Structure 1
Amino acid sequence: MKYCVVDRGDEISQELAVQFHKLASRYNMVLDEQFPEVVLSIGGDGTFLQAFHRFEPDLGEKVAYVGIHTGRLGFFADWKPDEIEHLAELMNTASQENELRTVQYPLVEIQITTEAGIETHLAVNEFTLKGIDGTLVAQININDEMFEMFRGDGICISTPSGSTAYNKSLGGAIIHPSVESIQIAEIASLNNRVYRTLGSSMVLPKHHHCDIYPQSDKRLLLSLDHLSMQLNDLISIRCRVADQKINFSRFRPFPFWSRVREAFIGFDVK
């Protein structure tokens, strides 16, 4: 099995990375930082997102991810630091049996059109669009028909796995990753007798798309997961469920709702 490790860079994460490399060598796993089969993320969800965006453009669905969280909360991380030896053993077993079990989660595809051209990006959690100098004003189209004229701080488009992140703090619903969808959540929208938006999050299925046409000549901040870019010439953004998915290695069961309960409620069911 070919593997790669991406760690957060703190002392604990680096020590775990060294420990895993020793275990991997014991089990004849091959370190391959260009074309790994499994990417091990050691840190938090930010570290995991860095790992995804490092390998996504070239490897896509050819790589599977597994996470060890060394912080207080890691939604994408199934493993704790004291379980690293057990993880290595299970990876070795999967390699010997040539059976790498994975689950796939949907991604959101963002097509950005500017005066310079068109770029396409993927996000695991969400993308957000905000005004820099003031309120964001943007026309929202759904399936090529105008839906509303938005005015507010911004717009968040999330995946089902990302529905537990920024979307949740905006009052959006938590959606199981088996539901291939994207969710549109408003960030502090203006709602009065002059300006009116829906005021609640919307869930679009895979065969639908959403277009955002911001007011021209405005400086905007666009964020993709942990990455941010400033745009001064944005024409439109098209959002839809991506054809690609992200693979998670599952060396043991960890149901989505158990993950949600552990992350946000924090008690064990006996």
Structure 2
Amino acid sequence: MHFQFRRLAGLSVLLLLLTANSLTAQVALYAQYKGEGRLVRQVHHLTPFVDDGAGKLVAAESRYLMNSVPEYAPVYIAIRNLKVMSRSMEMMGSGAELNKRFEFKGDFESAYPLEDVFVVLELQTEDAGKLLYVQEIGNLTPRHLKPIEMSVPLTQRIGPGRFKLHLFTRGMEVFHSEMPFGQIERSLDKQVRRRLEGVTDAEPKPYVGPTPEYPPKLKRAKTAGRAVIRLTIGATGRVQDPIIKEATDPAFGESALAAARMWRFLPRVKEGRATPATIDMPFVFNP
């Protein structure tokens, strides 16, 4: 595998000459520190920070390597209001393009408090392969939307529709709403199976899932409320047949139902076998 490292217009960027499938699995990001790769645990603005080997986080070089890891962290981040665009200006008469940029903005939300969150933006260019850009998101507070913008200067054309987001918290890649649903489901199937190994008896437990989107009209009105979803947890931990049992407003019920469909549980285990279970799952909305 060949790597070529660059620094571009104040942004941390890695140019990777990789096959198309090399970043489809969960990954960890490493940065160079004193001649060796160390796991990136934080990003301050655009600077990666790694453990120096003595438990202290120190700034590392903006030279990166991505390696596959066995699992995602059991965390889900919702990306709301995502907007992605590319911009360029053409000089009249010459056909030359100026000010080529790739831009994205979105609101990031988690069901759990998360620290040291950062994003890696992967772009597929027509001529230069894959480019990675790294930027801090910071800490996420439950049910609080945090707006993030990235504006990336480009020297290469981007292939149509070819971009991908990786989100990390404390160095571990997490699930997010822009990932293909099938990819999330296959990864969770494996992770749940691992956690059931050796278990003889256990009640079902939530494993990972998104927070419901606050209905815009009710959020503007600062209306609080709740919803209860009745669902069956299958033997794989997947949600089956969810219905709205009760809701203080129909919009809360629909939002909670959409979120519940995407949750994954550790299933009930009896005498070493995973068995279905039906539960009521409450969701609370506070503006």
TM class by smaller structure = under 0.3
TM-score (structure 1 length as normaliser): 0.22
| Structure ID, larger Rg | 2
Greater relative contact order (Cα < 8 A, sep 6+): 1
Give the helix-richer structure, 1 or 2. Answer: 1
TM-score (structure 2 length as normaliser): 0.21
Give the strand-richer structure, 1 or 2. Answer: 2
